[in-house]
A and B are shown apart, each in its own frame.
Chain A
Amino acid sequence: MDLCDRSACQLSKMLRKREISSREVTEAVFDRIAEKEERIHAFITLTREIALKQADAADRRLRGGKRIPVLNGIPVAIKDNLCTEGIRTTCGSRILENYIASYDATPVRRLLREGAVLVGKTNMDEFAMGSSTENSAFGPTCNPIRPECVPGGSSGGAAAAVCAGETVLAVASDTGGSIRQPAAYCGVVGVKPTYGRVSRYGLISYASSLDQVGAIARSVEDCALILNAICGHDSLDSTSADVKKPDFRKALGKKVKGLKIGLPREYFVEGLDGGVRDRVMGAAGLLRENGAELIELSLPHTEYAISAYYLIATAEASSNLARYDGVKYGFRSPEPVDSVSMYEQTRSRGFGKEVKRRIMLGTYVLSAGYYDAYYTKAQKARTLIKEDFERAFEKVDCLLTPVSPCVPFRLGEKIAEPLQMYLVDIYTVSLNLSGLPAMSVNCGNVDGLPVGLQIIGKPFDEETVLRVGHHYEQTAGAMGE
């Protein structure tokens, strides 16, 4: 096993014992990138020079031997919508093609403070709008498991990089499933914490009330390490929650015996791939064998989730993306003669098709005369969906559902059918609407393509989510071996 395929937990131990150096780990990662990146295209920007410098600094700290943070010397990839000071941050868009951020996003700053090594900025659907990473202005990412398939999206680059050993850990964002769905498609683990758990300062906004930063890794335990580093209140983000931050790694040890796990009926209906359904039910069965109690229940407003999501997300996006006007930074169309045509041409040429589609949708949603019919109504639906979960959590400790109704599809298969693409998010968007923590853990394959199990928790109860995921991972892994 190459160093780049090992877990962060193992590497951290080996580093402390001085069996290996961070430089060796980092070089292993860049060797893997040299080998695979051309085919997978997980990164928009690689930061090899910076990474090696950080690795050497991490090694010096290890030699110094004082209190060393767990992530010291561990390679981490950052989704390219998180600002990195002095490093190009494109958001997968031509309009920010040459944008160099002037500051570090809070989650990035916290990772670097822990001594993490920055591998590069990962590919994504432009402005995180998409479910396949095909909407990147820098070309699509391929699924390392089967390169003719998509890696999911929008954090396809991050999930593919973790899967292929092009990084050990990744930090990404999830607005409607953008961490969980690519994690599922690439057979890795992805966590979207509770809204407010991780600061959004420096995360380039797509839909502010839905965006949340989270983790992608090859094990639940590694995700817990990332959460320990990036979670916590931040005075620079007014929506950041001032709640106590537990040690997420400690939550992993507990068993699932006696836990009440809900299976929402509406998530196992028509449209769900039979194979996916079987794997998810298989996982539920395993947890029951280990002492959890399965309870079938109903989330009656589930059917409104996709509509509510696409109304709210596009409305917020239409406003959030107004700042890309060619005035201050980023791409500016060279031809215009006056300010209005500068706006028109800069935005027409700087944004891709899907981004423009969502800006137009969102502009329409907020327009005079339509606002109540769309935006207000979507907010009402959002409240009802949230209340569904509140009621469910009176009876159960967590919920199990599929992450995606299907396994990874082929590149180009859905790109011409936006509505088909939107439906891929059907099981994930509700958790952004309700702000709840949710995780994707691999629960087997269908025809060699991975299936993700979604574990959903109560607000700020990532611990139960991690605990169930970790337990499942351990028992299923043991059975597999």
Chain B
Amino acid sequence: MDYEPVICFETHVELKTQSKLFCRCPASYGKTPNSRICPVCTGQPGALPVLNRKAVEYTVRAGLALNCSINRRSRFARKNYFYPDLPKGYQISQYELPFCENGSLEILGDDGRPYPVGIRRIHLEEDAGKLIHSSSSFSASEYSLVDYNRSSIPLLEIVADHQRNPLRSVKEARAYLEKLRQILIHIDVSDCMMERGQFRSDVNVSVRPRDSKEPGNRTEIKNMASFKFILEAIEYEIKRQTGILESQGEIHQETRLFDEEKGMTLPMRSKEDAPDYRYFPDPDLMEVEIDEAFLAGIRKSLPELPDEKVNRFLREYQIPRNDALILTRDRIVSVFFERCARTCEDRKRLSRWMLKDLFQVLNAASIPMEKCPIKPEDFSHLINLISRGELTDRISQSVLAEMVHSGGNPGVIAEERDLSPIKDVRLLEKIVDEVIEENPQLVSRVRAGATKPVNFLMGRAMEKTEGKANPKTIRELLRKKLQTH
């Protein structure tokens, strides 16, 4: 029988607010343990939470970018459980009335068609502290230390929908995660740095016969922070579950952990052992009312989303689809391109030069795009000089290399270094004549009908001009001379 997986993510994303979710401590990473703490985020007796407005704004921003409806009344709830990294014995999260519900994220489906993956809800919650064990695991440790710097840093939880357009393959799962991360970075609510745990996912996986509409029993794999391991874990789970179903076995609904070394998922706890979190509305916090003005402000400030941008680039700049996809992937790149495009006469050439030559030169010099020393108007000028035939392709390469070092104006560089094309036709004719004289054998072969040697003769002529001639002109001259001689 043919089986089909159903994959559903719960993704935790650290928001990039200045301060924590419920106190004024800075939300910073990698500082001395317990140096960014106060009575509130360490759960001291009597301390009370005060909501960070910016975090709400970011949540709503994410909700709008993911096509959610925004609840006008929203509420925080306590999720009660004991763990040493959880200072209050409960996490302030949301249960009923989250900020955002019923959204979608469009990816390219395996069938090649756009596929809007269902998003059930997005809510805001606080992160826990971090345990540092004296040994490899909690249970094996003689002691464990707790760092509360991370405690109460705001987290978005983005919960995909089991029923409404779930993911159907590892490939789609990857596309979903990549797109989600791209959008969140793009709308500037999170840096989504995987290595810092700013983008972590739980994933639900189930498998069902391809013609079945009934979802199979699912397992949840907890807390993974690397794309590679997430996809490996899903792949492993699909194989494991398919194997069980094929041998007429039964899938147990359970929570599993992915063992990165062994590359397999292992059971953590069964459904029966699932904790009762005893959610109830947090009486220390008021309901949050989102009014039209607040919403309108966020809508207005929301940047163009990646898909919209690709379409606009295709429309406005008439560049190839693949170029548009690459140019819009990174905000800094797309901003650079658009600045250039304002003064550039040939956008196709601009895009080609950016993606190939500029990237190559920057790469070779190990300069990241955000530190690119070339001003967009200078780059655009360079492309214009090429389009007008005022610089040859080959000369442009060295002008570009010079621009990366000095950040100067291409016209000035070309002039200073005497790189402007040779326009004097008589001078060019003289050079062509020299080449013909120096290569009598090749010339006679050409005259006998061979075409290949022409390229060699051209190369020789270009060499003599130090690349400063327009290759077209040289080719014209050669053809003329070889026929008329």
Given the complex, which residues of B lie within 8 Å of A366, measured CB to CB? 80, 278-280
Is there an interface contact between B82 and A325, defined as CB atoms closer than 8 Å?
yes
The smallest C-beta distance from B115 to any residue of chain A, in angstroms, reads 35
Given the complex, which residues of A lie within 8 Å of B49, measured CB to CB? 238
Tell me which residues from 293 to 311 in chain A have a Cβ below 8 Å from any Cβ of chain B: none
Question: Which among A89, A200, A343 is the interface contact of B82 at CB below 8 angstroms?
Answer: A343
A363 to B279, CA, bound (A): 11
Is there an interface contact between A205 and B46, defined as CB atoms closer than 8 Å?
yes
B88: interface (CB < 8 Å): yes
A329 to B88, CA, bound (A): 12
Is there an interface contact between B46 and A101, defined as CB atoms closer than 8 Å?
yes
A312 to B88, CA, bound (A): 19
Question: Which among B42, B82, B138 is the interface contact of A328 at CB below 8 angstroms?
Answer: B42
B75: interface (CB < 8 Å): no
Question: Which among B80, B87, B90, B286 is the interface contact of A238 at CB below 8 angstroms?
Answer: B286
Given the complex, which residues of A lie within 8 Å of B279, measured CB to CB? 366
Chain A to chain B: the 5 pairs with minimum beta-carbon distance, closest first: A322-B89, A366-B278, A208-B283, A209-B283, A202-B46
B45: interface (CB < 8 Å): yes
B50: interface (CB < 8 Å): yes
Is there an interface contact between B146 and A201, defined as CB atoms closer than 8 Å?
no
Given the complex, which residues of A lie within 8 Å of B80, measured CB to CB? 318-319, 322, 366
Is there an interface contact between A204 and B45, defined as CB atoms closer than 8 Å?
yes
A126: interface (CB < 8 Å): no
B43: interface (CB < 8 Å): yes
B47: interface (CB < 8 Å): yes
Is there an interface contact between A327 and B46, defined as CB atoms closer than 8 Å?
no
A83: interface (CB < 8 Å): yes
The smallest C-beta distance from B47 to any residue of chain A, in angstroms, reads 7
B residues near A, CB below 8 A? 39, 42-51, 78, 80, 82, 84, 87-90, 138-139, 144, 146, 276, 278-280, 283-286
Known: A238-B50, A339-B84, A363-B278. A325 touches B286 (CB 8 A): no
Is there an interface contact between B89 and A200, defined as CB atoms closer than 8 Å?
no
Question: Which among B44, B84, B89, B138 is the interface contact of A101 at CB below 8 angstroms?
Answer: B44
Given the complex, which residues of B lie within 8 Å of A238, measured CB to CB? 48-51, 284-286
Closest to B88 in A: A323
A83 to B40, CA, bound (A): 13
29 pairs from A and B in contact (CB 8 Å cutoff): A81-B46, A96-B45, A101-B45, A101-B46, A103-B39, A103-B44, A105-B46, A202-B47, A205-B46, A207-B283, A208-B283, A209-B283, A235-B50, A238-B48, A239-B48, A239-B286, A316-B283, A319-B278, A322-B88, A323-B87, A327-B84, A328-B43, A338-B139, A339-B84, A366-B80, A367-B278, A368-B276, A371-B278, A375-B280
Is there an interface contact between A91 and B280, defined as CB atoms closer than 8 Å?
no
Closest to B278 in A: A366
A322 to B277, CA, bound (A): 12
Given the complex, which residues of A lie within 8 Å of B44, measured CB to CB? 83, 101-103, 329
Known: A328-B87, A366-B280, A367-B278. A323 touches B48 (CB 8 A): no
A315 to B280, CA, bound (A): 9
A465: interface (CB < 8 Å): no
A83 to B44, CA, bound (A): 10
Given the complex, which residues of B lie within 8 Å of A327, measured CB to CB? 84, 87, 146
Closest to A211 in B: B283
A214 to B46, CA, bound (A): 16
Known: A327-B146, A375-B280. A319 touches B46 (CB 8 A): no
